[in-house]
Amino acid sequence: MLSPASASGHEALPRPGLVLLFGWLGYAYLGPLVATQAQTIDSLKSVDASLWPWISAFLSAVVIWLTAQLINRVLALLFGGFNRGFNAATRAYVVVVGWMLRGSLAVLLLYAGMIYGTWYLFAITPTGFIPPQDKGYLVLNVRLADSASLERTQEVMAKVEVLAGSVPGVRHTVALAGQSLLLNANAANFGSMYVMLDEFHDRVGMHRTADSIAEELRALFQREVYDADINILGAPPIEGLGTAGGFKIVIQDRGDNGLDVLETVSQSIVQDGAKDGKLRDLFASFRASTTWLQLDIDRDAATKLGLSMSDVFGSLQVNFGSLYVNDFNRFGRTWQVNVQADAKYRMQPRDLQRMYVRSATAGTVPLATFINITPVTGPLMIIRHNLYQSAFVNADAAIGASSGEAITSLKRIADENLAPSMRAEYTELAFLQQLAGNTAMYAFLLAVILVFLVLAAQYESWALPLAVILVVPMCLLCSVAGVITAGMDINIFTQIGFVVLVGLACKNAILIVEYARSRNSEGIRVYEATLDACRLRLRPIIMTSFAFIFGVVPLVLGEGAGAEMRRTLGTAVFAGMLGVTLFGILLTPVFFYVIQRLANWRNQPMTGDTSAS
């Protein structure tokens, strides 16, 4: 590096190593570029190309030697101005601390008020668990009217694909008609779609996040698609825990109220939840009155015709489902053989009457001779959760609402609509969030206790560590204030940031307390010892703190994959470190001053330091 001029005006000459460094840079990097450009100038083409790197190295060394004096003067002005400004700030800081030491009682009362403010902010700040993340795709759940045909569902899915592909930021789609991935159910009126988004680096410049694209898709589908309900969810925050983002609760029928009551209750929850501003994309999985065809088989008649029930069910499975036969090896792979009737022979109820069942004794027998086909209504699927008939209600947090607020609202709405013998329980991510509870805050308290015990062992005192620990609540106050300002919630990542801030806050406090304690043990009065520590330790505290603060700025401004987690953690630590630096340099001297005076008064009540204040 260049040696800046000293405050006295002496200018340091450049070191030979610096000249050699710039010479090497000119040879390695500037030389090939100059050689390339020289070939385009007629007067320089005659110069051997191998000489240009050496010429560049020589010129770089000469230029840095000649300009070093100017650079030293500029740096001298900058560093000298900074030192003068910082020294003035230090003197003002020491004066302010002196005033605070004289008004210690008022400062402690103000500190008690800030402790209350910390509790209040924690009480009003939304809570969460794991923030929703942009993982590069969205999941669509499409539901048509009950008993809608598969062809109609396919037409809707084709239209949805075209509309989704027209939205900027969407790369391609993968659609599936007849199946709901979110509900894990097959039905002709269900459809699912994966909307694959562009790569992160292509979307960052356009500010096309998964949430913004999802909002645009919702508005587009609401305008253009009239015959289907479409729910758009993001990716699950934890892979393998759920098919999509959001959360769900389970409505359990523990009193055998019937499937119709279960459907009514789940739909009531969806309707009431849609009116709540903290919820969106609500839908229930349960349908109790879809259309079915019931086959009443006359088993006695079938037996008289020489048919067994396995023959009847096997024929039904082959013609209207599929039947696995065996495997065979070909082209280096193993292939399955499944038998199924052609689609055109199994599309209508009358196709059942045209079907024949092969008998070992009586040849082929028409199925219509011993079955009766009756249209009935029944559930699309029956879900059992903990052995009870159940229905899932899926939902997602609305914009501006945390997952904790949304889950609480959904649970409250569910409890208001449940029959007396029904219960609502959490599942998947919502269950883990409720299970975790305040575990991270307990870990924070344990971290504070651990730091206190370590300091007590180091200082061989139970009083002095309090001067260090008492500043910790201020980092929580500022961290939560930063989270609220950024519109975030207290989740597992902000709680990790709280634990990190414990060590950072104590580090700053230790710098002041350690030196003040050493000065006081040398016989210096507590008041002067505290001011000496503030005067000497302000620079290292400010420098190390702001080095860390600037280091977490990339987390606060994070973009791309996993940015949601980085921004949450970075915001909490950034705001907390700013606050603990400000409060730490002001409050820690007061804490030490009061505690040390009390300790001295207790040890030497008659000759204690009574003039320090």
The b-or-e profile of 577-592 (16+ CB within 10 A means b, else e) is bbbbbebbbbbbbbbb
pLDDT tens, position by position, 264-314 = 888 888 888 888 878 887 878 777 777 778 888 888 887 887 778 888 888
Please state, in angstroms and as integers, the Cα–Cα distance from residue 389 to each residue in 74, 247, 261, 379, following that order.
79, 20, 11, 11
Is pLDDT above 80 for 449?
A: yes
Contact 150, 135 (CB under 8 A): no
Q: Are residues 157 and 208 in the same domain?
A: yes
How large is the average pLDDT for residues 217-237? 84
Bridge partners of 330? 333
Q: Say what angle helices 492-521 and 439-459 make with each other, to 10 degrees.
A: 10
Contact 398, 279 (CB under 8 A): yes
Q: What is the pLDDT of residue 3?
A: 41
Lowest mean pLDDT of 18-27, 88-97, 386-395, 526-535, name the range. 18-27
Q: Are residues 123 and 236 in the same domain?
A: no
pLDDT tens, position by position, 77-134 = 888 888 888 888 888 888 988 898 888 888 889 988 988 988 888 888 887 788 777 7
Q: What is the pLDDT of residue 254?
A: 85
> Is there a domain that residue 47 lies in?
yes
Contact 162, 155 (CB under 8 A): no
Q: Are residues 505 and 598 in the same domain?
A: yes
**What is the distance between the alpha carbons of residues 508 and 528, in angstroms, rounded to a whole number?**
19
> Is there a domain that residue 29 lies in?
yes
How large is the average pLDDT for residues 353-367? 78
**What is the distance between the alpha carbons of residues 504 and 482, in angstroms, rounded to a whole number?**
17
What would the two tokens of residue 606 be?
């008659």
Q: What is the pLDDT of residue 399?
A: 77
How large is the average pLDDT for residues 500-521? 83
pLDDT tens, position by position, 529-572 = 888 888 888 888 888 888 888 888 888 887 777 777 888 888 88
Is pLDDT above 80 for 527?
A: yes
**What is the distance between the alpha carbons of residues 611 and 327, in angstroms, rounded to a whole number?**
97
Number of H helices, E strands in the chain: 20, 15
Q: Are residues 363 and 454 in the same domain?
A: no
Q: What percent of the chain has pLDDT over 70?
A: 86
3-state helix, strand, coil in the chain (%, to 5): 55, 20, 25
Show Cβ contacts of residue 506 under 8 Å, excluding neighbours closer than 6 positions. Answer: 451, 455, 468, 469, 471, 472
Which one has a higher pLDDT value, 329 or 302? Answer: 329
Q: Are residues 46 and 72 in the same domain?
A: yes
Read off the CATH number of the domain in which 353 is found: 3.30.2090.10
Q: Are residues 423 and 372 in the same domain?
A: no
pLDDT band at 66 (very low <50, low <70, confident <90, very high): low
Bridge-based pairing of strands 229-233 and 137-143 is antiparallel
**Positive or negative: CA dihedral 604, 607, 612, 613:** positive
Q: Are residues 533 and 517 in the same domain?
A: yes
Residue with tokens 């196709």: 351
SS3 labels along 391-407: EEEEEEECCCCCHHHHH
Q: What is the pLDDT of residue 612?
A: 42
Contact 2, 68 (CB under 8 A): yes
The continuous run of DSSP H or E covering 365 comes out as strand 363-366
> Is there a domain that residue 612 lies in?
no
**What is the distance between the alpha carbons of residues 26 and 403, in angstroms, rounded to a whole number?**
57
Q: What percent of the chain has pLDDT over 90?
A: 1
Q: What is the pLDDT of residue 2?
A: 40
pLDDT band at 30 (very low <50, low <70, confident <90, very high): low
Bridge partners of 396? 280
Count up the domains in the chain and report the number. Answer: 4
> Is there a domain that residue 2 lies in?
no
Q: Are residues 256 and 157 in the same domain?
A: yes
Q: What is the pLDDT of residue 72?
A: 72
> Is there a domain that residue 428 lies in?
yes
Q: What is the pLDDT of residue 7?
A: 42
What would the two tokens of residue 188 be?
């002709």
Q: Are residues 125 and 154 in the same domain?
A: no
Q: What is the pLDDT of residue 56?
A: 65
**What is the distance between the alpha carbons of residues 519 and 168, in angstroms, rounded to a whole number?**
66
How many other CB atoms are there within 10 angstroms of residue 429's CB atom? 21
Is pLDDT above 60 for 252?
A: yes
Look over the chain and give the mean of its residue pLDDT values, rounded to a whole number: 79
Last residue of a domain, one of 436, 454, 481: 436
**What is the distance between the alpha carbons of residues 171 and 332, in angstroms, rounded to a whole number?**
34
Q: What is the pLDDT of residue 611?
A: 42
Residue with tokens 């879809």: 290
Q: What is the pLDDT of residue 1?
A: 37
Read off the CATH number of the domain in which 597 is found: 1.20.1640.10
**H-type alpha helices, 16-149:** 16-25, 31-38, 52-102, 104-124
Q: Are residues 112 and 241 in the same domain?
A: no
Q: 166: helix, coil or strand?
A: coil
For the chain, the C-alpha Rg in angstroms (whole number) is 37
Which one has a higher pLDDT value, 198 or 14? Answer: 198
Which one has a higher pLDDT value, 591 or 183? Answer: 591
Show Cβ contacts of residue 302 under 8 Å, excluding neighbours closer than 6 positions. Answer: 308, 309, 312, 370
Our measurement of the distance from residue 58's CA atom to the centroid of its chain's CA atoms, rounded to an integer in Å, reads 53
> Is there a domain that residue 94 lies in?
no
- DSSP state string for 532-598: HHHHHHHHHHHHHHHHHHHHTHHHHT--STTHHHHHHHHHHHHHHHHHHHHHHHHHHHHHHHHHHHH
Burial of 497 (0-12, 13-18, 19+ CB in 10 A): buried
Q: Are residues 216 and 267 in the same domain?
A: yes
Bridge-based pairing of strands 247-253 and 422-427 is antiparallel
Please state, in angstroms and as integers, the Cα–Cα distance from residue 372 to each residue in 19, 295, 315, 358, 380, following that order.
100, 6, 16, 19, 22
Lowest mean pLDDT of 68-72, 314-318, 344-348, 502-506, name the range. 68-72
Bridge partners of 324? 338
How large is the average pLDDT for residues 236-264? 80
> Is there a domain that residue 526 lies in?
yes
Longest dimension (CA), the chain: 119
Q: What is the pLDDT of residue 310?
A: 81
**What is the distance between the alpha carbons of residues 87 and 81, in angstroms, rounded to a whole number?**
10
Q: Are residues 458 and 595 in the same domain?
A: yes
Is pLDDT above 50 for 436?
A: yes
The continuous run of DSSP H or E covering 335 comes out as strand 333-339
Is pLDDT above 50 for 156?
A: yes
Which is nearest to 476 in space by CA: 448, 495, 498, 493? 498
Q: 286: helix, coil or strand?
A: coil
What is the span of the domain harbouring residue 200? 137-287+399-436
The continuous run of DSSP H or E covering 372 comes out as strand 371-378
Q: What is the pLDDT of residue 352?
A: 78
**What is the distance between the alpha carbons of residues 14 and 354, in angstroms, rounded to a whole number?**
100
> Is there a domain that residue 3 lies in?
no
Our measurement of the distance from residue 475's CA atom to the centroid of its chain's CA atoms, rounded to an integer in Å, reads 22
Read off the CATH number of the domain in which 416 is found: 3.30.70.1430
Is pLDDT above 80 for 457?
A: yes
**What is the distance between the alpha carbons of residues 571 and 569, in angstroms, rounded to a whole number?**
6
**What is the distance between the alpha carbons of residues 202 and 603, in angstroms, rounded to a whole number?**
69
